[in-house]
Structure 1
């Protein structure tokens, strides 16, 4: 295997073949770049994490109080979760992922941020479908405490509210199902969501049917592959 490229793991999952790769690109200096692919599609890269980190910083900045209980939907390479744990107000964090393969990469520390998450007693991995747990408040996100309510839910799973990782996720983006998720958020609590696209007016209008306040943030970052500035979005919603 070339020193510039290594496939660390590749497994069949419920949504297709998922693989973890590490590469080095001399033009970008002495650094390892971690990538996750689903089939032939690139899902994420450690080259582009600004918006994943902003999901935590922007979402938690809107939360009031201390001793916070937080849910992160989608583990990925761990950047949203690790950034959330930098907020000292967090007492516990539940990171939900439907793929045991992805959780295993972190538990086995095959990705760099796994060591940070494993060392922090506030972090709890939850194997399950975020969307199923979000719409079933009788179960909820804490396996040991059914019906628990949370101060914040931070979501980064689908590409956008109109482009889905799997088509089954599409049914989540309705007033009914967003309301079921919001039932698991405390009063004045926050729901925040990442999107690869610029803010979408129709989705903002949908969020306003459930939440008292909705703000959209554009996160800009330099893309060295295209030698230009790219953008993602973070929606931040506050419950009444």
Structure 2
């Protein structure tokens, strides 16, 4: 019998710890190949369940009726949020700010599932940087949609430096980067009443969308949480 596929595509130190990109065949679904990322040997993301990453773009686009939209995405990950945004003809530009240069290299080297699609997209610009630092600084350009998928949740951050973004002060600074009627969207794996309260203090409209899917890997449903706010 052929053994299940398991490949380590990249294993390298970063400013946040050891980052690993791997590709494997699911034991529970023979023939299904997934790409996964771990940070410090803890699961970070996967190409297996991507509904909430896609919904981050889909719902934000539904909330904005404009065209020629400029989108800013914080966190490249495996590219599902930015790829979904770029499926809309109403998006004229999508800029992705990714903290880890290693993740950008994976895309450029064709190591992630969406590499061919994203590398061929002339509306996409990927830069290395700190999205939280950028949103805390005066805006050089405003965006119609700002979509953040970096931390596990507003209350569980990958790096202590990002914490201020989720406060009233941080959101007020981030709001300056939005065009009038612009939409902020934030991905989280958990609810956060503290963050919701801060959103209500800063924005005139707040929307919370749970995205529930059945995870065959753990044989139970799981829910991610999407927070949206209109400037």
TM-score bracket, normalised by the shorter chain, equals over 0.9
Question: 1:169 maps to what in 2?
Answer: 162
Alpha-carbon distance in 1 for matches of 2:195, 2:27 = 41
Match runs of 1:101-180 below 5 Å: 101-137=102-138, 140=139, 147-180=140-173
1:151-181 deviations in whole A, cap 9, x for unaligned?
0000000111101111221122111111111
Alpha-carbon distance in 1 for matches of 2:46, 2:75 = 14
Alpha-carbon distance in 2 for matches of 1:99, 1:202 = 28
Match runs of 1:1-240 below 5 Å: 4-137=5-138, 140=139, 147-197=140-190, 199-239=191-231
SS in 2 for 1:209: helix
Alpha-carbon distance in 2 for matches of 1:162, 1:27 = 32
Could you tell me which runs of 5 or more consecutive residues in structure 1 were left unpaired when the two chains were aligned: 141-146
**8 Å contact kept, 2:212–2:222:** yes
Alpha-carbon distance in 2 for matches of 1:192, 1:57 = 10
**8 Å contact kept, 2:28–2:216:** no
Alpha-carbon distance in 2 for matches of 1:96, 1:153 = 11
Alpha-carbon distance in 2 for matches of 1:30, 1:226 = 18
1:16-51 deviations in whole A, cap 9, x for unaligned?
110100000243132321010111111001112111
Alpha-carbon distance in 2 for matches of 1:133, 1:194 = 18
**8 Å contact kept, 2:167–2:195:** no
Could you tell me which runs of 5 or more consecutive residues in structure 2 were left unpaired when the two chains were aligned: none
Runs of 4+ in 1 over 6 A off after TM superposition: none
Count of residue pairs brought into register by the alignment: 229
Task: Report the TM-score, using the length of structure 2 for normalisation.
Answer: 0.96
